[in-house]
Structure 1
Amino acid sequence: MRVMVLIKADKDSEAGVMPSEQLLTEMGQYNEELVKAGIMLAGEGLHPSSKGARVRFEGKQRSVIDGPFAETKELLAGFWLWQVRSMEEAIEWVKRCPNPMGVSSEVEIRPVFESEDFGAEFTPELREQEERLREQIAARH
C-alpha cells in the first residue's frame, strides 16, 4: 500500500526559518534508511504558505487566494510518499523519524487511493488511461 506522510507546519516553518544542520543531517540519515528499506518513493520539504496560493472552487467559478494562510496547524511543511505493507508499518517508520520541528510537531499518515479502491465507476477505459499516464510520467524520469 502507498501512504502519504504529511509533515505539519509550525510558526517557524511558516516564517521561512530553515532547519538546522543537525536536523538536516538526521533527516538525511533517516531518508537513507527509508530508501535502503525500499519504503520511500518521494519526499520533499515545502516553502511557507506565503509563497503559495489556493484555488477555491464554487460551482464553475474559480478564485485565487494568495498565501500566507492563517491557520498554521492545518498547513504542510513537507511530505513523503511511501510504499509499505500496512498502516502499522507506516506508523512504526514515522515513530523512528527525527522530530521534524524540534519541539512539538505532528505527522499525518494517509493511505493513497489505488485503482481497485474505486470500484465499478473506474471503468476499464479509465484504468487504461491511468496506466498510460503513469507510464508517461515514469518515462520522463
Structure 2
Amino acid sequence: MRFMSIVLAKDFMLPTPELAEAIHKIADREIKAGRMIDTAGLLPLATGARVSIKDGKLSVVDGPFVEAKEVVGGYAIFELQTKEEAVALAVEFMQLHKDFMPGWEGTCEVRAFYEPGAEGICDPLAEARV
C-alpha cells in the first residue's frame, strides 16, 4: 500500500545541517529497503503559484500567499504494508525535528494513496475504464 507523508509547518525554515544529515540517513535506509519511493523538500511560498476555481472562474495567484496558515514543507512517498508502519516512520521523522530544531512546530500528515477497487471507496474513474 502506498502512503504519502506531508510535512506542514507555520513558516518555511531550512533544516539545520544536523537535521538534514539525520533525514538523509533515514531516507537512505528506506530507499535501500525498497520502501521509500520519493521524497523532497519544497521551496518557500514566494517561489510558487496557486491556481484556483471560485464561482466558476479560474485564477492564478503568485506566491507568497498572505492567507497561508500552514506551509507544506516537503513530502515522502512510501510503499508499506500498513498504516501503522507509515505512522511509525512519521513519528521517527518528527522526532528528528524535535531533537535537531528546537522550537520548530509542525505536523506530518500521513495519507494512503487511492487504489482502484479499494473496499468502501467510491471509484470516480470506474466508468471511464469500462
TM-score, scaled relative to structure 2: 0.80
Secondary structure of 1:42's counterpart equals strand
Q: Within the alignment, does 1:123 sit opposite 2:126 as a pair?
A: yes
2:97 maps to 99
* CA distance, structure 2, for counterparts of residue 72 and residue 119 of structure 1: 31
* CA distance, structure 2, for counterparts of residue 64 and residue 86 of structure 1: 38
Equivalent residues, number: 123
Structure in which a larger fraction of residues adopt strand: 2
Deviation at 1:107, TM superposition (A): 0.6
Deviation at 1:33, TM superposition (A): 1.6
Give aligned-pair identity as a percent: 27
Deviation at 1:96, TM superposition (A): 1.5
Give the counterpart letter for 2:97 in structure 1: N
* CA distance, structure 1, for counterparts of residue 105 and residue 20 of structure 2: 17
Distance 1:75 1:44, change over 3 A: same
1:61 aligned to 51, 57, 63, which one? 57
Deviation at 1:77, TM superposition (A): 0.6
Distance 1:24 1:120, change over 3 A: closer
* CA distance, structure 1, for counterparts of residue 79 and residue 32 of structure 2: 12
Deviation at 1:115, TM superposition (A): 1.8
TM-score, scaled relative to structure 1: 0.74
1:81 aligned to 71, 77, 84, which one? 77
Distance 1:30 1:122, change over 3 A: same
2:40 maps to 44
* CA distance, structure 2, for counterparts of residue 62 and residue 124 of structure 1: 27
Structure in which a larger fraction of residues adopt helix: 1
1:71-130 deviations in Å (ceiling 9; x for gaps): 554320100011111111101111111218823221111111012246565337538xxx
* CA distance, structure 1, for counterparts of residue 79 and residue 30 of structure 2: 10
Distance 1:121 1:94, change over 3 A: closer
Q: Within the alignment, does 1:3 sit opposite 2:3 as a pair?
A: yes
2:19 maps to 23
Deviation at 1:67, TM superposition (A): 1.1
Backbone CA RMSD of aligned residues = 2.4
Q: Which 4+ runs in 1 deviate beyond 6 A?
A: none
Give the counterpart letter for 2:8 in structure 1: K
Distance 1:121 1:56, change over 3 A: closer
